[in-house]
Chain A
Amino acid sequence: MRRRKSFLCPATLLPMLMLAISINLMSGTSEAAKSNEYADIEDNDFAEFDFEDETDESSKVEVEDEDDEFDTNVEDEEAEVEVETENDDEFSHFEDDEEFEGFNPKEDHEDPDEFYNEPKARPEKATPNPPKQPIKIVNIPAHLRTNWENYYMEIFMIIGIIVYFLNFFTGKTKNQKIANQWFNSHRSLLESQFSLVGDDGSKNTEDIQEPLTKESENIFTFWCSGRVCCEGMLVELKLLKRQDLVGVISTAMKPAHDQVHVRVEMSPEDMDSFIFCIANKKSSLRLAKEMNDLATYCPERRPADKFDIPGSYFIMSEVAEVASAMLDAKMISMFRKYPDAIDTIHFSDQFTGPKPGEDQQPLELPQGKQVLIFVFNILTGKDKSLDEAIEETKPLMQLVFYCLDKVKRYKLSREAKTKADKNRTRVAENHWRSIHAVKAEKAAEEREKKRREIKERIREIEDPEKQRKMEERENRREKKKQQPKMKQLKVN
């Protein structure tokens, strides 16, 4: 017999149950979307969210009944955040992508728990807007080709370098021109005095191509030789640093002149023993400090007013009679005729150049040379052209040859000679004494060093017996050294 299925059999119950559950779930979703009354339902976790709507007074009352403890401030804030209506259109902004920054649209929106089941969610998180991520501004360097006006400093630097090199070529050319002009202007005079004018190092003197040697862009030299009384004459044209922009600026701030340095090397038998120097104030101060022979033999500086020399010149002389002998009428007339053109005149039989530094003290007594040094200024200015200034140095070169012949002829008096020789002997003795003191000090240091080494070696010996023997031997040796040396005589 077939049993008749009742309405409540499992076959019907199950689908009906599932239908009921789904209907229930759907109704729950719609209510949550519509109103905020869900906050009142079972789960009081969201009771703190007092979604107040001014129009909906019933929900407001209920919230107040249940959530007295919550701060009214929160309520005020929340009133601005959420507007609850039962109208679906008012939630259309949830579908707007721009409302939700950082919100991942791929997440399942249909999950109703997503917005509600956050236990301790803050008010801001209850809203659909996710927190903003901080925006990092990356410093992207400007492109080199598009913003040329920003590189004004670089452009300025490049222009400066171009200007520097333009000045370099201009200044170099001008200095070369001045040197060539001076040499050509004085060549005939020099060739009348010397057999050889200009030496570039060629093997044969007849094969010399370039008599004028360029030491740098502002220093030119040439050597003359083959004359009585002297071994040779070195002429250095020390011009202004026109090739260096820094030099040009410093010359503009502190005026200076092109100079001609003439150094005549006398033969030893052609010059007596004296040292004499006349220079302008600034040069005399510098020479008295720097030059070894002047600092050693001529410590005093006297003004040259006594000799009626115009300008501020100072005389440094070892013996007074030499100054009177050298500054004769012709010399004084040259000083008067060419004031400022003569910078220095320095005669010395003990010339060794500048003073050596403290760490460069020579062990041997330096041998002095017999030299005549002349320094002349080439006075170019607004009222004088270069040609005129160069022509003015011709008489000064004549003065050089005049002094050359004069020094050859000049002989010191007996007293002056005695005094000069005494000075030289004293200087040599002082030198040897200082050298000896230095040598003695070095020897003492070395002895001390050796003694320390021997003591160290004795200490390193492990055997105490050996150590004691070594120490005794050392002590005996030292005692022997300290004893005065006595000669022994054998008497037979």
Chain B
Amino acid sequence: MQCANDPRRPERIVRYVSPQAVLNAQNDEKKDAPNDDLTPDYMNVLGMIFSMCALMMRIKWCGWVAVYCSCISFANTKYNDDTKQIMSSFMLSISAVVMSYLQNPMPMTLPFTG
């Protein structure tokens, strides 16, 4: 029995629909909400670029930077995002580091130290 001052109305319950689901229903392809944090996406792309540099140009510090970019992307990712992309970014960066050292086991030298 509800009092007159009780603002609760069980008959007016509306179930929650996430904004992401609404956007996906409007467009057929998956799309992020416009004001979403883009840090994980940028870090993902950066990680891939550095991994490619490490693999193709055999630059060791690029491999390490790629690993760090993957870590930052992982830390900032949202739960509803695709985890495959993060995992592939991690695998690519780790393989870049491993391949760099297999080809040349010398210690890493930074570009400005020569």
Binding site for B on A (CB under 8 A): 141-144, 147, 150-154, 157, 160-161, 164-165, 168, 192-196, 199, 201, 205, 214-217, 219, 223, 225-229, 231-232, 234, 241, 243-247, 290, 353-354, 356-357, 360, 401
Within 8 A of A (CB), among B55-114: 64, 67-68, 71-72, 75-80, 104-110
Known pairs A193-B8, A226-B9, A244-B75; A154 contacts B16 (CB<8 A): no
Considering the complex, give the chain B residue whose CB is closest to the CB of A164.
B71
Cα–Cα distance between A219 and B37 once the two chains are bound (Å): 11
Tell me, rounded to whole Å, the shortest Cβ–Cβ distance linking B11 to chain A: 8
Contact between A150 and B79, CB atoms less than 8 A apart: no
Given contacts A157-B64, A215-B78, A353-B35, contact A227 B104 (CB under 8 A): no
Complexed CA–CA distance, A141 and B100 (Å): 14
Q: How far is the CA of A152 from the CA of B80 in the complex (A)?
A: 39
Chain A residues with CB under 8 A of B76 = 216-217, 241, 244, 247
| Contact status A227-B9, CB under 8 Å | yes
Residues of B32-48 at the interface with A, using a CB-CB cut-off of 8 Å, are: 33-35
Query: Is the CB–CB distance between B68 and A151 below 8 Å?
Result: no
Chain A proximity of B85: nearest CB distance (Å): 15
Residue pair A154, B108 in contact (C-beta under 8 Å): yes
The secondary structure that dominates the A interface is mixed
Known: A225-B16, A227-B12, A228-B9. A141 touches B105 (CB 8 A): yes
Q: Is the CB of A225 within 8 A of B14?
A: yes
Residues of B whose CB lies within 8 Å of any CB of A are 7-16, 33-35, 64, 67-68, 71-72, 75-80, 104-110
- Which residues of the other chain, A, contact B68 by a CB distance below 8 angstroms? 160-161, 164
Among B10, B104, B107, B108, which residue has its beta carbon within 8 angstroms of that of A226?
B10
Contact of B16 with A226 in the complex, beta carbons under 8 Å: no
On whether the beta carbons of B108 and A225 are closer than 8 Å, the reply is no
| Given A164-B71, A215-B79, A354-B34: A225 and B106 interface contact (C-beta under 8 Å) | no
Supposing A227-B8, A353-B34 touch, asked if A216 and B79 sit within 8 A by C-beta, the answer is: yes
Q: Which residue of B lies closest to A404 (CB)?
A: B7
Say yes or no: B80 contacts A215, CB within 8 Å. yes
Quote the shortest CB–CB distance from A309 to chain B (angstroms). 27
**Residues of B with C-beta under 8 A to A142:** 105-107
| Contact residue among A141, A205, A232, A360 (Cβ-Cβ distance under 8 Å from B106) | A141
Contact call A227/B75, Cβ cutoff below 8 A: no
- Complex: A150 Cα to B12 Cα, angstroms: 69
Chain A to chain B contacts (Cβ below 8 Å), 25 pairs: A141-B105, A141-B106, A142-B107, A144-B105, A154-B107, A154-B108, A164-B71, A165-B71, A193-B7, A194-B8, A195-B9, A195-B10, A195-B13, A196-B13, A201-B15, A201-B16, A205-B13, A214-B79, A215-B80, A225-B13, A226-B9, A226-B13, A228-B12, A231-B14, A245-B75
Question: For residue B107, which residues in chain A have a CB less than 8 angstroms away from its CB?
Answer: 142, 147, 150-154
| New contact pairs (9) apart from A225-B16, A228-B12, CB-CB < 8 Å | A151-B107, A154-B107, A161-B67, A161-B71, A164-B75, A194-B8, A223-B16, A229-B7, A354-B35
- Min CB–CB distance B114 → chain A (angstroms): 14
Q: Which of B9, B15, B72, B80 contacts A199 (CB 8 A)?
A: B15
Instruction: Report, nearest first, the 7 A-B pairs whose CB atoms are least far apart.
Output: A223-B16, A199-B16, A226-B13, A244-B75, A195-B10, A216-B78, A150-B107
Taken together as a complex, chains A and B put the C-alpha atoms of A216 and B73 apart, in Å, by 12
Task: Give bound CA distance, A152 to B106, whole Å.
Answer: 12
Q: Closest CB-CB distance, A369 to chain B, in whole Å?
A: 11
Chain B residue numbers with a CB within 8 Å of A150 are 107
Closest to A242 in B: B75
Contact partners of A141 in chain B: CB under 8 A: 104-106
- With A150-B107, A154-B107 in contact, is A225–B8 under 8 Å at CB? no
CA distance A143 to B67 in the complex (A): 25
Chain B minimum-CB-distance residue to A401: B7
Q: Which residues of B contact A401 (CB under 8 A)?
A: 7
Complex Cα distance A228/B12, Å?
8
Most B CB atoms within 10 A — which of A195, A201, A360?
A195
CB neighbours (8 Å) of A223 from chain B are 16
Return B100 CB to nearest CB of chain A, in Å. Answer: 11
Q: Which residue of B lies closest to A267 (CB)?
A: B12
- Closest CB-CB distance, B86 to chain A, in whole Å? 12
Q: Which chain B residue has the least Cβ–Cβ distance from A229?
A: B7
Contact check, A232 vs B14: say whether CB atoms are below 8 A apart.
yes
A195/B16 in contact, CB under 8 A: no
- The docked-state distance in angstroms from the alpha carbon of A401 to that of B7 is 10
Q: Which residues of B contact A228 (CB under 8 A)?
A: 7, 9, 12
A227 to B34, CA, bound (A): 29
B11 contacts across to A, CB distance below 8 A = 226
With the chains together, A264 CA to B108 CA distance in Å? 55
* Residues of A close to B72: CB separation below 8 A: 244, 246
- Kindly report which residue of chain A lies nearest to residue B61, judged by CB atoms: A153
| Most interface-central of B71, B78, B104 (chain A CB within 10 A) | B71
The CA-CA distance from A160 to B64 in the complex, in Å, is 10
Residues on the B chain within 8 Å of A357, using CB: 34
A195 to B89, CA, bound (A): 44
Please give the distance in Å from A241's CB to the nearest CB on chain B: 7
Q: How far is the CA of A152 from the CA of B108 in the complex (A)?
A: 9
> Taking each of B10, B33, B34, B107, which has the highest tally of chain A beta carbons within 10 Å of its own beta carbon?
B107
